[in-house]
Structure 1
Amino acid sequence: MTAAAEERYAAIQLARADFYFFSRWMFLQRKSFKWMRAPHHKMVCDALTRVFRGECKRLIINIPPRYSKTELAVINWMTWCLGRVPDAEFIHTSYAAQLATNNAWQAREMVSHEAYREIFPETQLRSDSAAKHEWRTTAGGVVYATGAGGTITGYGAGKHREGFGGAIVIDDPHKADEARSDVMRKNVIDWFQNTLESRKNSPDTPIILIMQRLHEDDLSGWLLKGGNGEEWEHLCLSAINDDGTALWPEKHDIETLRRMEQASPYVFAGQYMQVPAPLDGGIFKPGMIEVIDALPAERIQWIRAWDLASTVDGDFTAGGKLGRLPDGRLIIADMARDRAGPDERDALIRNTASLDGKSVRISIPQDPGQAGKTQVLYLTRSLAGYVVSSSPETGDKVTRAEPFAAQVNVGNVLMLRGDWNDALINEMRMFPNGSNDDQVDALSRGYGELINRPAMKINPDLLKRA
């Protein structure tokens, strides 16, 4: 055997045994140039190898887009596993059926490649495996691809036996431009719970989720908070390391990453940093709010504005007390907030009004339709003696919040110290990608009411002291 032949034989044996080397070797064989790899690639390969060995049953990998996630975690991993275990059964899904099908087809093409057959000669495609979304090996292995929300009738993943028998592999279950929609996110989570999880042929069938973060309550966030009751191993890879260096400088150097962050802080925070809002806030910069221990001894124009909910296990009802000083500064003085049904919610509004006193105006949103008018009429009557106004919400949440956010971001908003401060600051920081936005909605409504009413006359002496 020549030296070149010996070297190739050694490479083939190493590719068979080691997933990371397999990925590097097959890249070279298929594309005729070396893979521009980085340390995070080995981290991903090591985590996936632990799944194959049975050391991890539930794995979440958060990683920026175009950082080799699909090639490694879907195409390469499924084919390497099928080489080691030819009868393994996989279900692969992505947010679009076309993407999942394309990944499955690329995996099929790899199994057909002559370099793959050198490594795993025993893994052969069935002659009738021509469908792009589903193909099988002669040993009984299968790869089935579908989009999130699709049907999986008649297919299962894994084997009911000792050792590895396949897996469910999820790659980007959410479409980026739909992730802010509560309905669309919930649809994906419901499908995961009600359809995908039930396709495990064994309780030990591994599930791998690899995705970029898009929202605090995307599938990854929901699972990490215990959504399905299982413990998930988490590999979180940010485009910028903790020491300020680039994760993959050959792909994006640190200067490029900072420009990307500046250009689109929301997208960058979620998709590249795996934090679904900029750390210092996006629309809101709550670090600009000065926390005070006592109200100024000046006349303050007050309003308590409400954002209403009607369930005990979903959104909060929130009422923010917002004031305007003679010099135009704003003060957040209180936040009433609770998850309550209609009766408890209405009692909260009445009791809060009693505590505020009749000098504090009240603003209530009016839902569309006759039911909304009836609700406002009922609340207004129950608040007899108070100044109550109501109006429909117009525009999306972000548009409504931007005027108030502008005041926060220039340091024109004060906040009275209280145990409710942290929840409000965290909500502002995450807005609009957080789980809740009720406090922001309430304060945005309150600010709109304040600026749409005549301002108080300003004492010239106050201006001299300012």
Structure 2
Amino acid sequence: MNDKTVKRRAELASAGARENLYLLLVRAFPILCPGEKLARAPYLEAMCYALQRVATGDCQRLMISIAPRHLKSICGSVLLPAFVLGRDPSQKVVVVSYGSDLAREHADLFRRLVTSEPYQRLFPKMRLHAKHNRIEHMKTTAGGGRRSVSHGGSITGFGANLIIIDDLGKPSEMRHESYRQELRDYFDHTLFSRLNDKRRDRIVSIQQRLHPDDFSAYLLEKERFEHLCLPSIAELPEEIPLYSGKVLIRRPGDLLNPEREPQDVLDQIRADIGRSAFQAQYQQNPSESESEFLAMEDLHLVDALPDNEKFVRRVQSWDTAAKDGPRCDYSVGLTFGWHCEEDRWYLLDVIRRRMDYTELKATIRRERKRWYVDRVLIEASAMGNALLQEFRRETNGVYLPVNVVTSKLDRFIPHTDWIKSGKLVIPTDKPWFDSFRRELLAFPDVGHDDQVDALTQFAEYMRRSQGAYLDTDPATGRRIGNYHAERPRREDRMRF
């Protein structure tokens, strides 16, 4: 190999590292972790690809859930700011973690990287300012910089184009509701306001899960966050995007990092820290570990829904919030379809968001027409009763009230056997699946249980009516007659 070939290959490698965060990780790792060997597992490429989409502006909100000691802080708190500032030294980056010692450690690694000779060859325009180079705030000569702050720290007067939240909460404190609320308030009232441009600037949250109602759960409720969830042992089939259009295919039982954490090591970790902590920190599913009534294996899951024509009956169940507001409950609508060949119900769709009365009324009307629904169950709450009065003027016999007189738990427990029996099938390819699964498996220890309420409402209605409320052709199972004109029967106006 002649000198020109060697030089050309070096130039290509440098160009790749400038444009590819994963290749930059490969180059930077010996600088950041001298003497250690980088285990080039596919999950690292998946994590770097997701972070790079943030750096290039293709993703404004990203959450990564992954177990500790998987280079999440190296990639998120050190490498991502170096990559962003290398491409544009005028960018302003804020990195937040739960403790000042951790914040200083990450800042020191960042400084070590960006002042190294290999990095400066890759990004010649990125230089730290000689006079403004404190560990907690390193400015660039182009006016940008990296600011480190720990939870509760003030960043008044400092705007940001990118906020990186790396393990914001202490594991030992996460069980306290007051502490979890403190984290939410810090994000809402301090961090979010630091974005210079709320439409275009970006937020990355890299956390291990610690509690069903932890900070990650709060961000996921905001619905704008893309979620890269990387459990140590895959529980569901999944295709995770990689560079160049490739995907990482994970099947149930696949290990995330088999070289460093093979099955016997994970089994020992589970034995050492307990199943509950393992499910939260390593499986990123604290809800399952908290469940008293249902486990993941109790759910009957399919990769995708069958053909729509197979569903000959459809029912919607709506749990309406008492009022609209950023901290109020959600209004939830679940759509179920009866499969004519399998004789069981499928969950077809989930609507879950905070809505005022006008929007909720329009949504229920639209979703009923969209799914050609036979019956719409609405909880007879303050808002529900008002909706029922309006809808009954339009169509009799379709919208039915559900009067709630017992506790949520008393309504839920009798239907767990029905869920376990396989009479309810849930598709895993829908965007609402993770949220629905987490709430169902964590109940009753969840911040919001509106999806469970809507499910219980439907299950109780089906138990009482046994499907007899529809006029059907016994040969085909398809509905016949003008059943919409009927008045609801006494047994349809149920109380439970």
TM-score by length of 2: 0.56
User: Are the counterparts in 2 of residues 285 and 428 from structure 1 also a CA contact under 8 Å?
Assistant: no
The one of 282, 287, 292 aligned to 1:272: 282
**Deviation for aligned residue 1:429:** 5.8
User: Are the counterparts in 1 of residues 55 and 80 from structure 2 also a CA contact under 8 Å?
Assistant: no
Aligned length: 305
Trace 1:1-400 onto structure 2 (pairs within 5 A): 1-28=3-30, 31=34, 34-158=37-161, 167-203=162-198, 204-226=200-222, 231-242=224-235, 243-263=252-272, 264-278=274-288, 284=292
**Deviation for aligned residue 1:278:** 3.9
User: Are the counterparts in 2 of residues 276 and 433 from structure 1 also a CA contact under 8 Å?
Assistant: no
CA distance in 1, matches of 2:23, 2:224: 29
**Deviation for aligned residue 1:28:** 3.6
**1:51–1:430: structure 2 CA closer, same or farther, 3 Å change rule?**
same
Unaligned runs of 5+ residues in structure 2 are 236-251, 296-326, 330-380, 383-404, 420-437, 450-496
The one of 413, 424, 435 aligned to 2:447: 435
User: Are the counterparts in 2 of residues 75 and 106 from structure 1 also a CA contact under 8 Å?
Assistant: yes
**1:253–1:432: structure 2 CA closer, same or farther, 3 Å change rule?**
farther
Query: For residues 392-437 of structure 1, what are the alpha-carbon distances to aligned partners after superposition, in whole Å with 9 as ceiling and x for unaligned?
Result: xxxxxxxxxxxxxxxxxxxxxxxx9955546999999648964389
User: Are the counterparts in 2 of residues 73 and 210 from structure 1 also a CA contact under 8 Å?
Assistant: yes
Question: Partner letter of residue 435 of structure 1?
Answer: G
**1:198–1:246: structure 2 CA closer, same or farther, 3 Å change rule?**
same
**1:33–1:431: structure 2 CA closer, same or farther, 3 Å change rule?**
same
User: Are the counterparts in 2 of residues 134 and 143 from structure 1 also a CA contact under 8 Å?
Assistant: yes
**Deviation for aligned residue 1:9:** 2.5
Query: For residues 268-322 of structure 1, what are the alpha-carbon distances to aligned partners after superposition, in whole Å with 9 as ceiling and x for unaligned?
Result: 111110111445x57x4667xxxxxxxxxxxxxxxxxxxxxxxxx899xxxxxxx
Query: For residues 110-164 of structure 1, what are the alpha-carbon distances to aligned partners after superposition, in whole Å with 9 as ceiling and x for unaligned?
Result: 1100110110111111101331111011011111111111111111101xxxxxx
Question: Partner letter of residue 180 of structure 2?
Answer: R
**1:270–1:17: structure 2 CA closer, same or farther, 3 Å change rule?**
same
What SS does structure 1 have at the residue aligned with 2:204?
Answer: strand
CA distance in 1, matches of 2:87, 2:285: 36
What SS does structure 2 have at the residue aligned with 1:129?
Answer: strand
User: Are the counterparts in 1 of residues 294 and 416 from structure 2 also a CA contact under 8 Å?
Assistant: no
User: Are the counterparts in 1 of residues 133 and 139 from structure 2 also a CA contact under 8 Å?
Assistant: no
Q: Which structure's CA Rg is the greater one? A: 1
CA distance in 1, matches of 2:13, 2:70: 25
CA distance in 1, matches of 2:257, 2:416: 35
User: Are the counterparts in 2 of residues 245 and 254 from structure 1 also a CA contact under 8 Å?
Assistant: no
**1:433–1:4: structure 2 CA closer, same or farther, 3 Å change rule?**
farther
Question: Partner letter of residue 180 of structure 1?
Answer: R
Question: Partner letter of residue 273 of structure 1?
Answer: Q
Question: Partner letter of residue 56 of structure 1?
Answer: C
CA distance in 2, matches of 1:109, 1:37: 22
What SS does structure 2 have at the residue aligned with 1:127?
Answer: strand
User: Are the counterparts in 2 of residues 215 and 434 from structure 1 also a CA contact under 8 Å?
Assistant: no
User: Are the counterparts in 2 of residues 265 and 278 from structure 1 also a CA contact under 8 Å?
Assistant: no
CA distance in 2, matches of 1:252, 1:79: 28
CA distance in 1, matches of 2:18, 2:35: 20
TM-score by length of 1: 0.60
Question: Partner letter of residue 232 of structure 1?
Answer: F
**Deviation for aligned residue 1:221:** 0.4
CA distance in 2, matches of 1:186, 1:218: 9
**Deviation for aligned residue 1:29:** 5.0
User: Are the counterparts in 1 of residues 96 and 164 from structure 2 also a CA contact under 8 Å?
Assistant: yes
User: Are the counterparts in 1 of residues 66 and 230 from structure 2 also a CA contact under 8 Å?
Assistant: yes
Q: Percent of counterpart pairs with the same letter?
A: 34
**Deviation for aligned residue 1:240:** 0.4
CA distance in 2, matches of 1:432, 1:116: 51
What SS does structure 2 have at the residue aligned with 1:223?
Answer: helix
Question: Partner letter of residue 206 of structure 1?
Answer: R
CA distance in 2, matches of 1:53, 1:253: 34
User: Are the counterparts in 2 of residues 24 and 34 from structure 1 also a CA contact under 8 Å?
Assistant: no
CA distance in 2, matches of 1:10, 1:314: 54
CA distance in 2, matches of 1:26, 1:176: 29
